[in-house]
Amino acid sequence: MSKETLVFCIGIILTLLPFLGIPEDWKQFAIAGAGGFLILIGYMLRRALYFARIDHGNGERGDGSFMETTKQLFTERELQ
């Protein structure tokens, strides 16, 4: 089952939960557990999207914020 489908199913359960006749104490635990599970799945989905965005396709990841250069940027006279 994909993560997106899991989020959809938990949403359906949370929508139907008030009408199922479950005792109030159990219902509070079920809602809190489903909410925590949704937070975890949401984090995993965002993380997977981030990694897919920075993937170069050859097994390397990077966002281009750091690039090493071989060109000398300053001369010794400017550094003194």
pLDDT tens, residue by residue, 16-66: 988 888 899 899 998 999 999 999 999 999 998 888 888 777 766 666 666
Specify if 59 maps to a domain: no
Specify if 70 maps to a domain: no
Residue range(s) defining the domain that contains residue 17: 3-54
Specify if 26 maps to a domain: yes
What is residue 20's predicted lDDT score, i.e. its pLDDT?
A: 87
Specify if 17 maps to a domain: yes
What phi, psi does 75 have (nearest 5°)? -90, 165
Of the CA atoms within 13 Å of residue 72, those in its CB half-sphere come to 6
Q: Report yes or no: 35 and 29 within 8 Å, Cβ to Cβ.
A: no
What is residue 38's predicted lDDT score, i.e. its pLDDT?
A: 92
Q: Report yes or no: 6 and 14 within 8 Å, Cβ to Cβ.
A: no
For residue 77, is it left (φ>0), alpha (ψ between -120 and 50) or beta? Answer: alpha
Specify if 65 maps to a domain: no
pTM listed for this prediction: 0.63
Residue 74: pLDDT band (50, 70, 90) is low
The structural domain count of the chain equals 1
Specify if 73 maps to a domain: no
